[in-house]
Amino acid sequence: MELTAEQYARIEPHLPLQRGNVSHENLNVINAILFVAENGCKWRALPKRFGNWHTIYTRMNRWAKAGVLDRLFAELQREQLIRIKIEAVSLDSTIIKVHPDGTGALKKNGPQAIGKSRGGWSTKVHMVAASARCAIGFSISPGQAGDAPEGRALLRSIPELPMNCHLLMDCAYEGNETRQLALDLGFIPVVPPNPQRLQPWKIKQAWYRRRNEVERLFRRLKGFRRIFSRFDKLDLVFIAFIYFALIVEALRQ
């Protein structure tokens, strides 16, 4: 897949202005990044029609450090949220296996969100989704990190949503602290109780069935091979690929 002229026109105003003798147009760079993201290939394996692979990588790295993809995602997210009426959002996480090439980051880059669990080296992606194509926010953590603590941190960081919005969660988030935080933030928590609770509660099954939307969004993201497996040593680059995939999914609507 490559972006069409119409899709590129939606994001062009939010990309850095190109100055001087530039050999790669932004559209060509974006389509090159999309090729790597979808096929999971190494940067050096980019087809020659995209130009010098190192130039493409350098520009993506520069955009990631400057927050270009973050701002672009936020703008497209704002457009999506205007079009849809948010009545419920879903909170969940998914495990990403880390390829051996993705380990061994230099210590000068600081700790990376890579941990070792029963399945080996992995990274966990936590996400709040408004639909099967629209993410409200996400974060990453080492694979062995607990869902509930990371989920609470994510809920505190996402943009403010309409009051009394239903928050759909699975049993990993049924603890008192998580449910109380959801209430404090203006959500209506919809989460099944642990079977061992002495005073279990009933949940609204009609709302809980919609929790599959975040699972479907994860499925779409894992269609990008650079997200299905983590090949990147640095969180900065891996997060950039997640932003990029979410941007592409938003443009497909």
Tokens 């609770």, residue located = 197
pLDDT digits (tens, 9 = 90+) for 63-75: 999 999 999 998 8
Predicted pLDDT at 240: 94
Q: Whole-model pTM?
A: 0.92
The more confident residue out of 183 and 2 is: 183
Task: Using alpha carbons, list the distances in angstroms from residue 248 to 14, 48, 158, 215, 224.
Answer: 14, 23, 20, 18, 11
Q: Provide φ and ψ at 7, rounded to 5°.
A: -65, -40
Checking phi first, is residue 51 left (phi over 0); if not, alpha (psi -120 to 50) or beta? left
Measure the CA–CA gap between 238 and 245, rounded to whole angstroms: 11
Query: Helices marked H in 84-234 — which ranges?
Result: 147-157, 176-184, 205-208, 212-221, 225-228
pLDDT digits (tens, 9 = 90+) for 5-48: 889 899 988 888 766 556 678 889 999 999 999 999 999 999 99
pLDDT digits (tens, 9 = 90+) for 142-157: 999 999 999 999 999 9
Q: Identify the CATH number of the domain defined by range 86-234.
A: 3.30.420
- Chain mean pLDDT for the chain: 90
Task: Label residue 82 by pLDDT band (50, 70, 90).
Answer: low
Question: Is the Cβ–Cβ distance between 152 and 129 less than 8 Å?
Answer: no
Q: Which H/E stretch holds residue 28?
A: helix 26-39
> In b/e form, how buried is each residue of 38-76, taking b as 16+ CB within 10 angstroms?
beebeeeebeeebbebeebbebbeebbeeebbeebbebb
Predicted pLDDT at 196: 87
Question: Is the Cβ–Cβ distance between 168 and 208 less than 8 Å?
Answer: yes
pLDDT digits (tens, 9 = 90+) for 171-219: 999 999 999 999 999 999 999 998 888 888 898 899 999 999 999 999 9
Whether 84 has a pLDDT exceeding 60, the answer reads yes
Task: Label residue 4 by pLDDT band (50, 70, 90).
Answer: confident
Predicted pLDDT at 30: 92
Tokens 């997640």, residue located = 242
Measure the CA–CA gap between 172 and 87, rounded to whole angstroms: 22
Contact partners, residue 105, CB within 8 Å, separation at least 6: 112, 114, 233, 234
